[in-house]
Amino acid sequence: MGNFCGGVGTNKVENSLSYQQETSGIANVHNRNTYYSALSSPKLLANFEEKVIRSPPPPRSEGDILSSPNLKAFTLTDLQNATRNFRPDNLIGEGGFGDVYKGWIDEQTLGAASSSQGMVVAVKKLNPEGFQGHQEWLSEVNYLGQLHHPNLVKLIGYCLDGENRLLVYEYMPKGSLENHLFRRGAQPLSWALRIKVAIGAARGLSFLHDSEQQVIYRDFKASNILLDSEFNAKLSDFGLAKAGPTGDRSHVSTRVLGTQGYAAPEYIATGRLTARCDVYSFGVVLLELLTGRRALDKTRVGLEQSLVDWAKPYLGDRRKLFRIMDTKLQGEYPQRGAFMVALLALHCISEAKLRPPMAEVLATLEELPATTKLGNSPSQSEQQITSDLTFGSPFRDNERSPTHVTPVGSPFPLHMNSPAYMDTRGSPLPSHMNSPHLKILEG
């Protein structure tokens, strides 16, 4: 499942002017104080303020990007020493960018260190024959040199030496979500860990979307979600990230870049990029967490090759959901919580205008019932939710399992079941997320 590119032209790398336009998104706005002395009236000042706020930030030059005070400029020799000359047994990953090696540097000086004393880092080395090139490398330096959040991987520094382009990150000992879900022989992730990973990834995406200058990640997928020793998720690989629309623009027009199976269909069709494209990709990853299947699997036959196409008919029906749940979970998951995640995934992959913003996706995930009780028997918190929503149901308590819930027995948190959040069918999702195009079947 590789990256793809499309659109007008055959070059994989855009020219430098196009790149400056793409990487201008998180540049600092010019200091407005230098202009205030020329503004003689409050009205002029107000008009000027509005123009400054609405105008897109100025492009950052390559020199500005590489002079970031937050990053160390490594020499090639530094990184050869840190990785033991990129020894094969230090290889820890491969991707569209190139190979990733384990290395060791001194925590204080950031120079090469021994494996017994140094800080472990991940060194990503650009493959000149690979999918990504200098512009993607520079984009990553641009964004991760400025953006800092617990759910974004930390970029320590870079190396630009002739044809060699490398990036140095914090080391993520648990590897990628992709490996945990799909690698043969991997220890299956528990339901609790899957939700923890989803919440962490949602926090990272929400941060990008809600930043002062919005950033669209554009390549959200399981292989780009890295896990630390406590399974905290962090987003990596910002080579395809792009500044979001500014002013009254609703989208950014760009050539199509991303990964098959994860990219939003309207983006593939039109090249119009919005934050909702990331929401779609997030919904696909939720499906991977639910089913244990890849977004695109060409070893399967027909409809089953596309995870979205195969899973969609089951997501809104709690009676059928078990048919697509990951068998590696061995039934060890709360059915009510699984149904909530399925409904959320369904809305994330729905028509673009109906997708919820990432902030709402995150809020829904964080409101999942905190329960360790699994199988058919609802936990105390789930029983309370059901009790509050059945409005004097004639069923006995032991009949309020997920297979006996009445049509108004929504599995969602109480704050999402007020009249402001519910349609006439008692859908448990926010009103803007309800649509005749999305048929939700209650068990």
Of 292 and 419, the structure prediction assigns the larger pLDDT to: 292
pLDDT of residue 345: 98
Contact assessment for residue 409 and residue 389, using Cβ atoms and an 8 Å cutoff: yes
Residue 393 DSSP one-character state? -
pLDDT of residue 374: 47
Contact assessment for residue 337 and residue 365, using Cβ atoms and an 8 Å cutoff: no
219 included as an active-site residue: yes
Average pLDDT score, the chain = 77
pLDDT of residue 117: 80
- Percent of the chain at pLDDT > 70 equals 69
> CB under 8 Å to 160, separation ≥6 — which residues?
66, 73
Element spanning 149, H or E: none
pLDDT of residue 97: 78
Of 79 and 50, the structure prediction assigns the larger pLDDT to: 79
Contact assessment for residue 147 and residue 215, using Cβ atoms and an 8 Å cutoff: yes
The mean pLDDT of 198-206, rounded to a whole number, is 98
The mean pLDDT of 99-124, rounded to a whole number, is 89
CATH value of 177-381+429-433 in 3.30.70.20, 1.10.287.3510, 1.10.510.10, 3.40.50.261: 1.10.510.10
pLDDT of residue 122: 96
Alpha-carbon distance of 416 to 137, in angstroms, equals 42
Alpha-carbon distance of 182 to 199, in angstroms, equals 20
- Dihedral, 334, 196, 237, 244 alpha carbons, nearest 10: 80
Band of residue 396 on the pLDDT scale cut at 50, 70, 90: very low
Contact assessment for residue 143 and residue 213, using Cβ atoms and an 8 Å cutoff: no
Using a 10 angstrom Cβ sphere, with 0-12 exposed, 13-18 middle and 19 or more buried, the burial of residue 405 is: buried
pLDDT of residue 135: 86
For residue range 322-371, what is the model confidence (pLDDT) as tens digits? 999 999 999 999 999 999 999 999 999 999 999 999 999 999 999 997 54
Structure tokens at 167: 């990036």
Band of residue 29 on the pLDDT scale cut at 50, 70, 90: very low
The mean pLDDT of 68-83, rounded to a whole number, is 94
Q: Count of CB atoms within 10 A of residue 196's CB?
A: 18
pLDDT of residue 36: 33
Closest CA to 390 of 410, 367, 371, 370: 410
Contact assessment for residue 342 and residue 334, using Cβ atoms and an 8 Å cutoff: no
Alpha-carbon distance of 216 to 154, in angstroms, equals 18
For residue range 248-302, what is the model confidence (pLDDT) as tens digits? 888 888 889 889 999 999 999 999 999 999 999 999 999 999 999 999 999 999 9
Domain boundaries, the chain: 63-170, 177-381+429-433
The mean pLDDT of 389-414, rounded to a whole number, is 37
> Is 215's pLDDT higher than 50?
yes
pLDDT of residue 370: 57
125 is in an annotated binding site: yes
Q: Which of 78, 99, 219, 237 is catalytic?
A: 219
Residue 214 DSSP one-character state? -
Fold of 63-170: Phosphorylase Kinase; domain 1 (3.30.200)
Determine the 3-state secondary structure of 17 from DSSP: helix
pLDDT of residue 130: 64
Alpha-carbon distance of 95 to 278, in angstroms, equals 20
> Is there a shared CATH topology between the 63-170 domain and the 177-381+429-433 domain?
no
